[in-house]
Amino acid sequence: MLKIIKHITFSLGLIGLITIGGLAANQSTNFKVTPIAKNVYSIVSPSKGLPTPENKGWNSNVHFVVTGKGVLLFDTGSSEAIGHKIKKAIQSITDQPVRWIINSHSHADHWLGNAAFTDTATEIITSDQAFATMKKHGPGALKFYARITKGTIGSTRLVYPTLQLTQGQKRTFGDVDVELIFAKNGHSPGDILMWLPKQKIIFGGDVLSSDWMPMITGHGNVPNLIKTLQAIAKLNPSIVLTGHGKATTAKSIKRDADLLSSVWKQVKASHKKGKTLDEILSNVSAKLGSKYSVLYQDFVPEIERHVKLMYKLQQ
């Protein structure tokens, strides 16, 4: 049973969230819209852990761009009810309907809100790999979320994306130029980031983080996550919008790339020399702890998970 639970949790990509769950649980259900730049807004969840009865499932951020021809929405939250709250919050800013949705990835807290937008959305866009993962784990995610929120999340119709991309692309939505960038499965299969080249704003989903350690998962690809972070840092975004937690700057991306690449290199080299997991963990913590424990709120619990997962990936 434990194995099954582990598998489900793992498949939903919630490992990273579990370790920080409870640290910042907040009962607020105020879907406040934060202006980010001209025509760009965020709705940031005050809760960064798993969906819980207290947060009624609301644990992830969405962001939107008001174009001349409708709203472009990046992610839709963890449930149909949350999607409706997001919709209402958007309507407090603009009369334009949500016309296009990007689902950054397959984890349920980023797309189950799709159901609230079927009346106006003409396209719901994700990658082919994220789509396949949603199909596989969507029904299980509904049950899992209903259970861990004790039903407070409400019922949700599964509404899947209508357009599956096989590679990154440039597009114009209304009058806004956008680049959809593939993260090469860095956090999970088929993650997509969104880049506004004129405004220099990057929308990261769970590929990018601010106060928290990077969200590596067992079904993501750590070396590709490092490469993606390095590539995004090179774009030198002025604003970085994350899937959980507050907005940040290019500095966080550089910090995450440096941390992940140091840990990965150390784990890889030590594993080759036949060091045990405990030895590696204590060496990595000793070497990186003083620099990074002040840069992340969850360095201590998360570095252990990072080393364990990266060690496992060497085998």
Q: Which is nearer to Zn ion, 109 or 258 (CB)?
A: 109
Closest separation in Å from C-beta 92 to Zn ion? 27
Query: Closest distance between Zn ion and the C-beta of residue 119, in Å?
Result: 27
Closer to Zn ion by Cβ: residue 80 or 206: 206
Strand partners, 163: 125
- Closest separation between CB of residue 93 and Zn ion, Å? 26
Q: Kindly tell me which of 61 and 96 has the beta carbon lying closer to Zn ion.
A: 61
Q: What is residue 147's three-state secondary structure? A: helix
Minimum gap (Å) between residue 59 Cβ and Zn ion = 11
Q: Name the residue nearer to Zn ion (CB basis): 83 or 205.
A: 205
- Residue 254 and residue 250: Cα distance in Å, rounded? 6
Detail the DSSP E strand segments found in 80-214. 98-102, 123-127, 163-165, 169-173, 176-182, 192-196, 201-203
Nearer to Zn ion, 107 or 255 (CB): 107
Q: Are strands 70-74 and 98-102 parallel, antiparallel or unpaired?
A: parallel
CB of residue 282 to Zn ion, shortest distance in Å: 29
Query: 251: buried, middle or exposed (CB in 10 Å: 19+, 13-18, 0-12)?
Result: exposed
Per CB under 5 A, residues contacting Zn ion are: 13, 107, 206
Helix axes of 2-11 and 128-148: crossing angle, nearest 10 degrees: 130
Residues 177 and 69 sit within 8 Å (Cβ to Cβ): no
